[in-house]
Structure 1
Amino acid sequence: MTINAQNRLLPDWFTRLRTRQTVLPRFQRFEAWGHANVTQMFNTILRRLPLGAVLILDIGNEEPFISRSIVGAPTVGERITEHLLDGQQRLTALWRGLHNNYEDRTYFLYFQKDEESGMPFFVDSIGRWKNSGDKAFRPFWANDPKDLWKRKMIPLDLCAPGDAANDRYKLWAKAAIEDSEEREAVAEVRSQVREIFTTFNLPYLSLPVTTSKDTALDVFIKMNTSAAPLSTYDIVVAQVEAAMGESLHELVGACRKVCPGLVAYYEPEELVLYASALLQEKPPTNATYLAKGFGKTLREHWDELLRGVERMVTFLEEERIFDAKRLPTDVIVPVLTALWAHAPQGLDAEGRARTILRKYLWRAFFSSRYEKSTNSRALTDFLELRALIAQVSAPLPKIFCDAEYPLPQSDELIAARWPTKKDRLGRAILALALHQGGLDLADGSVVSRTNLPKREYHHLFPDAHLIRLGVADSEIYRSLNCALVTWQTNRNISDKEPERYLAERLEGTPLGEAEVRQRLLSHLIPYEEMVAGDYQAFLKQRAELIQEKMFKLCQAGIADLSK
């Protein structure tokens, strides 16, 4: 079988997606990238770096597999000529980002220096949502050209290849930028960015029409599961073996035994590299890991790294963060590991360090600090927080700056998505609720690592109940409408109205209303609004309770569990 390698520019890919000549075999998984992946991809392209090749299967007169269009692309068109076997995430992100058809996200070109690459512009995104009764997406300023340009932002779809984007940009620029000379200068930069996209080459390998279904499936599986090349970790293992005559595999295995809770948060092999780079005051990148001497230094500082791991896991458990599944951002794990490796032990000095790290933890959850440039920001935060803990005279750590990384307002909390999604804010809200204890609504048990696997995501206002009231799915599946309860409680509540199942709880506990109130409060759930059955009032009041607790933790590091 011959596999042909060919070039194809982005506008040509878009033409084929628009006319539905290129589609996906239905057996492929659905769109999986989060917005951080999409942002990273666009900035890679702006730096004129490659994204790798994709794989297609040429189609003859009959499709070998049932097919579907990529998300956001037309579902009708010309005769299908190829199936995309590998590259779905990249092409979907390119299409949706440059056509502005994500439902909850808009991508922008920022006319600011990128702190990681040094480029004079970069791509980033903001969340979008609608509240009940809204005609336009929030935040409203993102709909106004003048407000956008005050922030030096241009909608990314205006930089897409094609005449249509050119025409839309001219109208937008006229509305956004009053000064003609400034408008001309901006147009020149925008043209440079558009040229990068227009000339971007995404090469592909093609399987011929004669390829059998079985062979095509076999190639697809191997393309997505093969791991033949040595990983970065494997190379560091070899460095340690050569320099110290010890097995890093055995050391990491011992770490798993000493601190079994670690695997709930992070892959130990990855954490060892990331945290060690921070301890060596180097960026956590492949270039650092593969540099001469990295493995040897890692081994020399192994004991302090292990100490950091143990204290980090204990700290997360104390904050009632129990696993990666509910972790708003995993960048905090290696940063905390490196910080706890050197933090004071005992008495007031440790108490002060814990307060600083608690403040850092919750700010990382509730701010956008780690939504881009995570490697460089992780190193910056480690160095700045380490100096603060050591009481060294140093500027305020960037992550504590409200102007650069503001905490979310009530509307943003209300709009946060269901926490099973990879949505930072949605998971942050759930984590904050569990921080209060997360008592089960029926049996009163406190949430713990042991009983967490037996808990389920429960709609406080059941979805069936809200559907009967005509509430849209987008408003039903909100983080503020979620609590983790036991599966027995979840089944018992079913689709009952809140006032009904709360009445059952009152009958079921000898302590009556005081006990039920306490159980709800342990999730930061307002009792009166639940009893009244007013969903919108409930969302607003719970957002206020969450926000009050968020400010205590993020601004002062106060671990008050009473409210």
Structure 2
Amino acid sequence: MTINAQNRLLPDWFARVRTRQTVLPRFQRFEAWGHGNVTQMFNTILRRLPLGAVLILEIGNEEPFISRPIVGAPTNGERITEHLLDGQQRLTALWRGLHNNYEDRTYFLYLKPDEDSGMPYFVDSIGRWKKPGDSETRPFWANDPLQLWSRRMIPLDLCAPGDEANDRYKAWAKIAIPDADEREAIGEIRAKVRETFATFNMPYLSLPVTTSKDTALDVFIKMNTSAAPLSTYDIVVAQVEAAMGQSLHELVGACREACPGIAAYYPPEDLVLYASALLQDKPPTNATYLAKGFGEALLAHWQELLLGVQRTVTFLEEERVFDAKRLPTDVVLPVLTALWARAPQGLDAEGRARTIMRKYLWRAFFSNRYEKSTNSRALSDYLELRAVIASTGAAQPAIFDEAQYPLPHTDELIAARWPTNKDRLGRAILALALHEGGLDLADGSTVSRANLPRREYHHLFPDAHLTRKGVPDSEIYRSLNCALVTWQTNRNISDKEPERYLAERLEGTPLGEAEVRQRLSSHLIPYDEMVADSYTDFLEKRAQLVREKMLKLCDNGIVA
């Protein structure tokens, strides 16, 4: 195979993009550059420095890959003659910046000295937005030629190659620069910038029409030189589309739409790879993802994978586990997805599967099963749990073995750290408390995904109160001293001792002590020890309550 190196000026690239002769293979990920990357690229061109070569695949009578146009380019045109394999970020930024079709940014030529390069001008951008009811994009001054020129700014699309930009610049300059002499002088500077873009050469390497799909894909993976390197997911996307002609991007997008809640727990792009590996009875590793045939198998079981995602989110919501911030370990997500993908549906068989998965979930939270070797253990647990769900005579999974993976005793629960520290046991305690309902201590509202963002981590024995009593921070910031309450409740309690703020709760509720006790019990919080203001007794009693509840869930899968 011969790779030919050739030159091509920017206007020629634009002509091919405009007529849809140059397109992207659809497996290319979407734009990854931020506006800082785009700005740097334009200033590099103004200094007449190279951007590097791009890579294209010549197309014969039939496209080897499904394609799409560059963002912002026409969707119809002439016969497609080449796929852009590497250089998407550069060519997309050039096209969009010089055609002003970014929705949220506009790029300008600033006729001011550039502190970094010493050039008499430079390119930068401003953010753009609309509010409901706006007919124009804000800030409004950026739409006014006079106000732009008062800031020495010229819209960059007026400096693009081509007669159309030339005509628009002349009309703009008549409004922006009333003085004819100044307008002529500025016109010469703008013409110099325009010439820089018009004569800019972006060379390319060309793979011939005879290049096989596999070879083109291999070259694409190895030669990708973008500022954001390809991830494993990007490579799998390419392999799936090359082999099957289907867009994994679109499938994952459909997954997000069908089950929007999954993004609160785990990136869907990663989840489909991990769970798919398990469904193929393979370890969730890069070696598995990049192996020949993985993409085809993923597509073959896509519908059951999607069902697994939907059922997993429903299951987690039923267990009152609502998001990644409060998830003790995320390894459970792909395992549960693979299990729910093939679990029985309806009646006693589904109920039995749910009980088994509930035991698994809470043992994964409270034991150290996933503190190392997570990939191999995830596969092992999936296979063993799948067998138990399918048959009552199957051997018990290793994660259910108390000798290998013991559950914590009360002293370990007492020592668990504040749950924001990403401490598995600390988060497990908080999750278990929310499992009971997590009623707010003042307004009585049940915790839910909808109101969770409005809840805060609250010290049941306020830190200032314990500090005054000489308790060190290491003992104050413990998971057993934490509850999620509304921000209003948190502010209201402030640094009050428990007896005082519980008395206020008694005054504020018509049902008195019974209702306050219920709200506390929904967090597994002991009422009497709180009222007695005994922090040591409180920790010990709450640890006992947590452990009792933990054992019911982990040993028998019992909800109440």
1: CA distance, partners of 2:245 / 2:336: 29
Deviation per CA, 1:249-271: give whole Å up to 9, x if none. Answer: 00000100000000000000000
| CA–CA distance in structure 1, aligned partners of residues 296 and 236 of structure 2 | 9
4+ residue runs over 3 A deviation: none
What's the counterpart of residue 437 of structure 1? 437
- Distance, in Å, in 2 between the alignment partners of 1:295 and 1:260 is 23
Which amino acid in the other structure matches residue 294 of structure 2?
F
Number of the residue aligned with 1:482: 482
Aligned to 2:284: 284
C-alpha displacement of 1:243: 1.4
Q: How does 1:60-459 map to 2 (within 5 A)?
A: 228-391=228-391, 393-459=393-459
- Aligned counterpart, 1:500: 500
Name the SS of the counterpart of 2:420 in structure 1: coil
Instruction: Classify the secondary structure of the residue corresponding to 1:483.
Output: strand
Deviation track 1:159-188 (CA, whole Å, cap 9, x = no partner) reads xxxxxxxxxxxxxxxxxxxxxxxxxxxxxx
Is the alpha carbon distance of 1:245 and 1:549 closer, same or farther for their aligned partners in structure 2, counting shifts above 3 Å?
same
Consecutive unaligned residues in structure 1, runs of 5 or more: 1-213, 216-225
Counterparts of 1:228 and 1:388 in 2: how far apart (Å)?
43
The superposition leaves residues 448-502 of structure 1 with CA deviations (integer Å, 9 ceiling, x where unpaired) of 0000000000000000000000000000000000000000000000000000000
Q: Aligned partners of 2:480 and 2:452: how far apart in 1?
A: 19
- Once the two structures are TM-superposed, the CA of residue 229 in structure 1 deviates from its matched residue by 2.4
TM normalised by structure 1 equals: 0.59
Structure 2 counterpart of 1:346, one-letter code: G
Give 1:369 deviation, angstroms: 0.1
Provide the residue aligned with 2:49 in structure 1. Answer: none
Alignment-derived partner of residue 13 in structure 1: none
Shift of 1:227: 5.4
Q: C-alpha deviations, 1:320-364, integer Å up to 9, x for none?
A: 000000000000000000000000000000000000000000000
* Letter in structure 2 aligned against 1:366: F
C-alpha distance in structure 2 between counterparts of 1:353 and 1:469, whole Å: 49
Within 1, Cα distance between the matches of 2:275 and 2:227? 24
Identity of aligned residues (%): 82
Secondary structure of the 1:420 match is helix
In the alignment, which residue of structure 2 is the partner of 1:525? 525
> Matches of 1:457 and 1:556 in 2, distance apart?
30
Task: Report the number of matched residues.
Answer: 337
Q: Give CA-to-partner distance per residue, 1:356-405, whole Å, 9 cap, x none.
A: 00000000000000000000000000000000000164321000000000
Cα distance between partner residues in 2 of 1:393 and 1:379: 20
The residue identity in structure 1 corresponding to 2:496 is K
Q: Give the distance between the partners of 1:251 and 1:227, measured in 2 at CA.
A: 26
Give the superposition deviation at 1:240: 1.0
| C-alpha distance in structure 1 between counterparts of 2:238 and 2:296, whole Å | 10
**Counterpart residue number, 1:51:** none
1:440, distance to aligned residue in structure 2 (A): 0.1
For 2:449, what is the secondary structure of its paired residue? coil
CA displacement, residues 136-167 of structure 1 (integer Å, 9 cap, x when unaligned): xxxxxxxxxxxxxxxxxxxxxxxxxxxxxxxx
Letter in 2 for 1:488: Q
Tell me the C-alpha RMSD between the 2 structures.
1.2
Which residue identity is paired with 1:332? V
Counterpart CA distance in 2 for 1:392 and 1:413 is 33
Q: Aligned-pair distance for 1:228?
A: 3.1
Gaps of 5+ in 2: 1-115, 118-225
Counterpart Cα distance in 2 of 1:498 and 1:392 = 49
> Normalized against structure 2, the TM-score is what?
0.60
